[in-house]
Amino acid sequence: MIKLENVERTYGIGSNAVHALTGVNLQIDQGEYLSIMGSSGSGKSTLMNIIGCLDRPTAGDYYFEGHEVGKLHDDARAQLRGKVFGFVFQSYNLLPRLTALEQVELPLMYQKIPNRKRRAAEALIQVGLKSRLHHHPNELSGGEQQRVAIARSLVVNPRIVVADEPTGALDTRTGTEVMELLSSLVEKESITVTIVTHEQLIADYTKRIIRMSDGKIIEDSHRITSEIVDRS
């Protein structure tokens, strides 16, 4: 589904240039559950931005479903994001003035999808917020806010959900709840879920762990085999 070939991302020019990604090759298949790990500055967030079409590679190719999307202009990428991608951020990134229901309606509004209210309510019920539809972010706990964000990412029936440190602002218990919710998406909806984290505990939920350092992938391990090994 996703294929990165020799992707580079450089910020700035000349001697001040920062090479955030230096030749990344990566393939992600439909329904995969993976995490991208690395210390800060390793390039993991940059990689996530490129996978999520929030950013463009400076060099190299990005194929989504066989189409080169790395060189699309801003609006085309916005459209692609709205249709195919769901985003979950560490700081939730909800709009303070909107109710939970309206937050979730937002992507539908930009996609001009009808029955916004019903679809948004369904997505919120799916993440267990049936009783919080009309609450504003400041009336919701951190875990609830993150679940609103997850509902917002799910409402467009995305092919892939990209989560950047989704539990970073949560305590362990609610963090666990959020991770279980994300894990269930892969199992029930066969949505591809990519989680960026620096916590091994979080990465342990996923079936594939990609480790990054200095803008390169230094390890790409499929844990299915390792789990089998563990059980035996």
- Three-state helix/strand/coil letters over 167-207: CCCCCHHHHHHHHHHHHHHHHHHCCEEEEEECCHHHHCCCC
Asked if 188 interacts with another protein (CB under 8 A), we say no
Amino acid at 113: I
CA–CA separation, 169 and 90 (whole Å): 6
For 109, half-sphere exposure in the C-beta direction (CA atoms, 13 angstrom radius) is: 8
Binding segment (CB under 8 A) for another protein, from list 30-38, 60-68, 75-83, 201-209? 75-83
CA–CA separation, 196 and 162 (whole Å): 8
Residue with smaller CB distance to another protein, 165 or 177? 165
Least distance from another protein to the Cβ atom of residue 24, Å:
17
Among 26, 106, 123, 191, binds another protein (CB under 8 A): 106
Asked if 152 interacts with another protein (CB under 8 A), we say yes
CA–CA separation, 53 and 57 (whole Å): 9
Among 12, 75, 172, 173, binds another protein (CB under 8 A): 75
Asked if 225 interacts with another protein (CB under 8 A), we say no
User: Quick one: how far is CA 23 from the chain centroid?
Assistant: 21
Residue 1 near residue 64 (C-beta atoms within 8 A): yes
- Which of 132, 221, 141, 217 has the alpha carbon at shortest distance from 177? 141
Asked if 109 interacts with another protein (CB under 8 A), we say yes
- Which of 6, 43, 36 has the alpha carbon at shortest distance from 214? 43
Residue with smaller CB distance to another protein, 114 or 228? 114
Q: Which of residues 6-25 bind another protein (CB under 8 A)?
A: none
Among 20, 21, 94, 161, binds another protein (CB under 8 A): 94
Asked if 110 interacts with another protein (CB under 8 A), we say yes
Binding segment (CB under 8 A) for another protein, from list 27-35, 71-79, 195-203, 212-220? 71-79
DSSP letters spanning 78-94:
HHHHHHHEEEE-TT---
Q: Total residues at the site for another protein (CB under 8 A)?
A: 30
Q: What is the contact surface with another protein in residues (CB under 8 A)?
A: 49, 54-55, 74-75, 78-79, 81-83, 87, 89-91, 93-95, 97-98, 106-107, 109-112, 152, 156, 164-165, 168
